[in-house]
Each structure stands twice: as structure tokens, then as C-alpha cells.
Amino acid sequence: METVITDDGVRLWAARSGPGDPLVLCHGGPGLWDMFDDLADLLTDVTPVVHWDQRGCGRSQRVAGPWTTDRFTADLDAVRRHFGLERMALLGHSWGAQLALSYALSRPERVSALVYVSGTGIVPTTDWHDDYERGLLARLGEHPERLARWRELPRENRERAVLQWSVEFQDRERALVHAERMADPWFGIAVECGSALNAETERAWGTPELYDACAALDLPVLIVDGAEDIRPRSAVDSLERALPRGRRVILRDAGHLPWVEDPDGFRDALKAVL
């Protein structure tokens, strides 16, 4: 375990899996923590990795913000400097894919490659969020007692999180098992962080300026999707079209965490770009 100090003095939890040029991982949320231990194990003979918990989340210092993309990209840059990386390969998952893309757009000279996993593209949130909500309720509704329990619990509750995360897996029989693993250990959800960053995305995403910036991004980008993700994969088409050096891999039998349900396919996709 290591402690990264940001330019405004906040302590971030970080860890490195081994020597050599690492793949830096950006976890999802916003407001969650690094859950990439199984991914690090999967990539043992491919690349070392750097894990870190974002500001105010998980094992990092609990602070009252600021909750902005600019602040989080600056924190990611502090992680880069801490590990002595002139340039870094980045992998972002879900919200972390958006964060990694934002970093690459703001500091392209610091990025060697970007792996964009299970993101939601560069369209406005309104283009996909209603479909996501319908998918969430439909999968929870496969077990009406789970849906009813989910509805009565507060957002920060562990049981509620496990029920919600269970919809992220294509394998419905093992979905709760996978979701329980995500919640162990449990560090608590930074609800204010998540709300603020999601609100910023609703205001700022989908602009012509964002499309133009992605079209000018001269970096190799690998987009990885699970075909059974309840977030419409069509939302990512906009990013795929905009990127001049983008490649996309869709794993047919996987949901929102494709390395869990198709580890071999995910590993092979990363080996090709790393």
C-alpha cells in the first residue's frame, strides 16, 4: 500500500502489483472504490497494475470534495507522478472510463494507450439513462422480493448495493455471488461524490466540443463492452465513430464487468493493445 499526496494535500490510497511499466486502473462509481483485485490477478503475466481509490472514496482520505472531473483528473495526475510515470497506459471502467477519457483529452502527452471498459460514450445522459433504468428494474423484477427490498433501503446501504450490482451480470444464477464479492470488503458509498459528478456529467456531456476533442485524440484506444450490459451499448457508438485510432471488442456473454464473465476474452483483448 502507498499514499499519494495530491496538490491540495489530500491522501489517496494506492497500490502497485509489481515492477515494470504499469497499467493504471480507474474504478467505477462515482463514489465507490477499487475492486480490481481479480483483474490484477488475471493480468499477472500481461502487465503490472496500479490501483487507487478516488478522492473521498474507499481507503482514500474522506474529504468534502471538491467533486469535479477537473479535480479527479488532477488527482489521477498525482498518481502518475507518484509512481514516476512519464506516460501511462490507462484502463477505466464505467464512470472510471469517463474519467480516464477525460484525463486523456486534457493530458494526451501523458497517455500511451487508453482502455475504455463499459462506459456510456459521449452522448448526453438522456440518450441512455431511461433505458438503463428500465433494464435495472426488469432484472431486479425477476425476483419481486429483491426489487421490493431494494426500493425500501437507503442508497448507501450495503444490501441495497449488492442487489443493484447483481443486475450487472449476464449469468443470472451467479449474479448475487458476483455482487457479494464486489462488496467485500465494504468501504461505504460516497453518495455526495456520486451525486455531484453525475450531475456534472448531465450538464456537460454530449457537447460538440467533446465530439471534436475525441476526434482529435491521437492515441490508441481500445473499447471493451459486454453485450449484456444493461446500459445501451449504442451510446458508445458515438465515441467509437469519433476516435481516429479506436478499436472495439464486444464480449457476447458478459455484462457490465466483462473480465468477470469472460476473463479469457477480456485478457486477449488487452494483450493485443498492451
Task: Report the 3 state secondary structure along 184-211.
Answer: CCCCCCCHHHHHHHHHHHHHHCCCHHHH
233-270 CB burial, b ≥16 within 10 A, e <16 = bebbebbbebbeebebbbbeebbbbbbbbbbebbbebb
pLDDT for 230 equals: 97
* pLDDT class of 118 with cuts at 50, 70, 90: very high
pLDDT for 80 equals: 98
27-55: per-residue pLDDT in tens?
A: 999 999 999 999 999 999 999 999 999 99
Does the pLDDT value for residue 229 go beyond 90? yes
Domain spans of the chain?
2-125+187-273
244-261: per-residue pLDDT in tens?
A: 999 999 999 999 999 999
Cα three-residue angle 107-108-110, rounded to 5 degrees: 75
pLDDT for 59 equals: 98
CATH 3.30.420.40 fits 2-125+187-273, yes or no: no
Does the pLDDT value for residue 209 go beyond 90? yes
Q: Provide, rounded to the nearest whole percent, the portion of the chain with pLDDT above 70.
A: 100
* pLDDT class of 274 with cuts at 50, 70, 90: confident
Does the pLDDT value for residue 71 go beyond 90? yes
145-181: per-residue pLDDT in tens?
A: 999 999 999 999 999 999 999 999 999 999 999 999 9
The answer to whether the predicted template modeling score (pTM) of the entire model surpasses 0.75 is: yes
